[in-house]
Structure formats: C-alpha cells, structure tokens
Structure 1
C-alpha cells in the first residue's frame, strides 16, 4: 500500500458501517477496515453495550471548530450533507480524554452523522455515531463491537446514539454522551468546493477534520467528498494538507496537466486504485478516485479530470468561516 493509500485508508477505516452502500460496498469496506484495525488493535473481549435515555439539550457549546448554521435545529440527523445537527462540548469531557484529542473529525452522511476525536497519530480517542434509525444504530454497534473498544448505546429526543471508547476508558462512556449537544447545528465545510455533479449524481457524505492547536501547521487537516454516480458506483474526492509525497515507494511523477496543474494518473485494482493525483492544488494535496474494492477500470482519467476542473480551493486553510458554505453545488 502506498503512502497516499495508507493516509486515506487509515482515516476511512471506521466508515465501513454505512449500510446504504451499494453492491456489497459495506461488506467489502468492513473487511478492509478490519484488516487495517488488526494491525493496530489488540483483540480483547466483546464490547459492553448499554442503553441510556438522556435528557434533551439543545444549547450550543463554545469553541466549536466549524461555523454555526442558524436554524435547522429540528431537521433530522443525516438529512443534509452540508450540515451537522449536533456539536460536542469538549469542555464537558473528562480531561483524560480531552488532553489526548488533537484533531476533531466531523462526518455528515446519508441518515447518520459522526464525530471522532483523534490523537496526533490519527488514532481515535472518542467516536460518536448519531442516527434516527435504531436499525442503523445496531449496525454501527455491530461494526464497533469487539477488539479493544467499548460501546454505549443511548437515546435522546428521537436520536439514537453510540459512543465508542478504548477499553481503558470504559468508565467514562456516560460522560461522553453528556457532552453531545443536539440541535447545535454546524456547517460541514472544507477549503474546497465542487461546483457541479454529473447528471444523476448525488453527494452522499461530507467529511472534514480540524486541528485543535495547529501550531505551525494549518488548522485544516483533511476532507473527503463521497459521491454516488447515476449507476451507483462511488467516486471519492480526497484533500489534505500533507502536500503529497515526492519520494518513496510510490513517488509523485506528473504525466499530464489537469486544470492547469501537474497531475499523475494512478491505475490498479481495488479501493482508491484508479485516481488522479495533484500534489499542489492551490496548496492542497488532491486525489480523485474510485471508492469500491474490485475492478476499477470504470473510473477513467477523463472522468477524474472532469471533477478536478469543477473544483476550486480556498486560499485560507486556517479560517473555516471563509470556506464555501456548502462543499458541493
């Protein structure tokens, strides 16, 4: 696996629970995610699962990393890819968790939303899944059940929640649920904008990650757009602040020009195998590829180039308030 594929796969491992994925994608992604996690987790006993009914809270926490979106508090979880219908008040988390969180990742998908607090090596410290469907929550729980994690199922105001922590932090699970702020609507923003979709295409997931204390690095860390074609094949647009790899086992070597920038076409079989790589897309590392495992020859350089030419980048990677209000459209 190349450095580029590793960066993408590491971040996407926990997304395997999407039950709406077409053509067995959920099962294939689950197997891929498990292979990645086996290299990093010590297999333990099954997760502890509890069910809590919590008191509704619709206030907004302070210090959120994404711009607020006034209104929309009553909309359903996962009803709009451009919005998150909750926030997490890190100040209400135990310091033993908060002190280890250096990156916050936010995901808005088709019928679900998610928060992941990660450490500096992108390992998850806290994961929170939200959905309006008990069946979907069961699926998330099954995916997270086992290994070195512990889970807590909870309900609040018609929302099904699942909190996942490492086994050493199991006693802190109820405190994490208390930090969730439903109705604190935020925009799922990123410093790139896709101006159009192909005919029949749909935007199915928004993913974006922010550093809490960036220091010399940019505030923004990475983002992903998942797009469903009219034929149900899935296209993935990945962007991060790593500025590409020009040396190593699979170095960047431009073989074409796309949108006025040097680009490289990578081909193969498997998830993310066929893709267009641009290491300096206005200061952003960009990769447009297939998503599913299996044969990838359906995704061509021309199609990848079409997406790249419909993308623009924000000049400021440190101020989410200046990024496009919606990443697509």
Structure 2
C-alpha cells in the first residue's frame, strides 16, 4: 500500500504548470486513498482488539466449534474462580479437601472453558464443580473418603440402570467407569471414579459418547493448584459459636452479568445451620413490606422459615429450615444485619 499522496500531487502540479489545473484527478486520487485508509483502519482495529484480549490473561480464548471448521471466541476465564496463591492443591495437601469453604483444591480450566454456566462448591467434606452449556455438561466431586463421595447425590439425568463398572486408568491412576443411558440426551451419562492421589476420591459424571472420551475428560482435571471459592458479599455477624461451613457460587455467560447467585452456609458444633443466598435481582429490587429490621436493612418474611431483603443489585435470603435447621428468626436477623456487599459483583477477583 502507498501513502505518497504528496509526491503524486507534486507530480500532477508540475505536469500542469502554466496551464489550468483540472481538479478531477486530484479528487479521485484523494477519495481512493481515503477508502484504502478506512479499510486498513478497520483491519488494524480488529487486530488490535484481538491482541488486547489476548493480553488480558487469556480472557477470550479461540476454540474450534463442533464442526472443526470455524473458530469461535469464548470467554474462557469468566466461569473460573479467582486464584488462591497462598494455598496448595489437593496433590500436596489432600487432608485439606472439603475442610475450608473458602478454597477449592483443584482446577478444571480446560473442561469449564467450553461451558456457559458453572457452579463451584467447597466445604462440609467435599469440593465440586458442575458446568453445562454448549456441547458439555458434567459434574466433578472430590472428597477425602469413598463413603463421603458415595453419599453425594447425583444431579445429572440418567435411566437409573447403570451397567457394571470396568477398570480404567486416569493419568496412570487406577479407577473404574460405568455407563447409564440418559433419557433426556442423545449422549450417555458416564461415571469415572478414581483416586487422583492417595487419601482422596474423585468422581466425574459427564455426558460423553464413549468411555475413552469420559476418562480423557477426567484426566484434564488438575490437583496441583487451588482457587478461592468466593461470593460478592461477606457475613460480619454470625450467631454465637457459628462459623462458615460451605461456599457455593454460580457463574454464567448469558445473563446481565457473570454472577448469578452465591450462598454461604453457617453453623455450629451442635448441628444447627442456616443458608444465606444472594441472587442477582432480575428487575428493580422490591421494597420490604414488613416492619422487621436487620442492621441497616428492612426485612420481610417469606412464610415462617425464610427472611428476605433487597440489597441492590441482589435479593438476599436467609433460610432457617429446609436449607437450615435449629436457628430462630432473631438469629436470621442477626446474620442479615451483618450482610455486606463486597467488590464488583461481576469481578470475582474483587470479592
């Protein structure tokens, strides 16, 4: 491409020296050059956008679509938990799995990157992620004992008539896999169960076309790193003797923001517990109609077991029964009074 308009103008003027100048060739050349510059500006702008996205820690990845012909951008990092640089992965400290609601001791970046929704959970003996959307749907659970893992309820749909397990190897570790036809999917539900390290048990439930595909997916889960299980709020007032037991956060790509909902479970040694859940409000937050107060907030009742308040942009609830047991309404008001939003609701690194 040439940018020598000045030289062309000079040559044209010299050729017409002493004569009347016809402006038509000059105007045509200027217009042509302007069109070329605009085309290149669009190209360079597009290249700059791609470069900037690549620099932003890989926030946009380019992955092949199901046909393998075009390349489709996906927000690969939006559904992942923030890093926890001061924590070690399950491979180094297996005894910590499920003990700290603030830490997930594994990563599943390659698997989750193709999804549109992901729910991460940590605490009360297990750590897990369930993700779906696009061409993938799966759930991974990690526990310290086989009994704890066996007690985790299945969430993906199947016929309930699994075939007998067969032996497999996941990253050279022994395990087993079995198949259960799915009534709602053309792909069967595969279960892969193995010990990624001594002292830990893992299970991947995934819709896949074959045992090899399922075991290959399991091999992509890593246990040498940790992430923070975080929600965009803190609980600064808990009932006497209570502590945080579990964290759960649901992230999504096809909504008004990345955060969909998050929950914290608190309880004590006597077996009492309650759940506080914040959901992104789809519309203008409702005004409370009851006269209850919790710290700076007005609170309304949902029946006799749930308290609710609006803290924009979220609706916040505390469950005393069903998702809780043993605590009273005054306890719930104490907890809601200490509710405090944290950081940017759609930037998990600020929570």
- Normalised-by-shorter TM-score class: 0.5 to 0.7
Matched ranges for 1:118-137 at <5 A: 118-119=132-133, 125-137=137-149
Structure 2 residue corresponding to 1:228, chosen from 250, 264, 267: 267
Aligned to 2:241: 200
State the alpha-carbon separation in 2 of the partners of residues 170 and 242 from structure 1: 41
Unaligned runs of 5+ in 2: 1-75, 161-181, 183-188
- Provide structure 1 residue ranges, at least 5 long, that are not aligned to the other structure: 1-61, 269-273, 324-329
Give the structure 2 partner of residue 314 of structure 1. Answer: 342
Equivalent residue of 1:71, what SS? coil
- In the alignment, which residue of structure 2 is the partner of 1:262? 298
Map 1:57-72 → 2, pairs under 5 A: 63=77, 65-72=80-87
Q: Note closer, same or farther for the CA distance 1:229–1:132 as it changes in structure 2 (3 Å cut).
A: closer
Q: Determine whether 1:110 maps to 2:130.
A: no
1-structure distance, mates of 2:329, 2:153: 38
Q: Relative CO higher for 1 or 2, CA cutoff 8 Å, sep ≥ 6?
A: 1
How many angstroms apart in 2 are the aligned matches of 1:315 and 1:283? 13
CA RMSD across the alignment: 3.1
State whether residues 100 and 245 of structure 2, in contact with CA within 8 Å, keep that contact through their aligned partners in structure 1.
Answer: no
Correspondence for 1:189 = 230
Number of aligned residue pairs: give it.
Answer: 239
Residue 86 (str. 1) matches residue 106 (str. 2): yes
Q: CA deviation at 1:198?
A: 2.1
Evaluate the alpha carbon distance shift between residue 117 and residue 306 of structure 1 in structure 2; reply closer, same or farther with a 3 A threshold.
same
Cα drift, residue 172 of structure 1: 2.9
Aligned counterpart for 1:284 among listed residues 314, 318, 322? 314
Aligned 8 A contact 2:103 2:227 in 1: yes
User: Which protein has the larger Cα radius of gyration, Structure 1 or Structure 2?
Assistant: 2
Q: 1:168 to 1:65 in 2, by over 3 A?
A: same
Query: Relative to 1, partners in 2 of residues 1:164 and 1:200: Cα closer, same or farther, differing over 3 Å?
Result: same
Distance in 2 between the 1:167 and 1:244 partners? 38
Return the TM-score normalized by structure 1: 0.63
Q: The residue matched to 1:174 in structure 2 has which SS?
A: helix
Please name the residue that 1:271 is paired with.
none
Partner of 1:31: none
State whether residues 243 and 285 of structure 1, in contact with CA within 8 Å, keep that contact through their aligned partners in structure 2. no
Structure-2 separation of matches of 1:228 and 1:128: 25
Deviations 1:146-165 (A, max 9, x none): 53343110221223110112
Is the 8 Å Cα contact of residues 297 and 337 (structure 2) preserved in structure 1?
A: no
Change (3 A) 1:107 1:169: farther
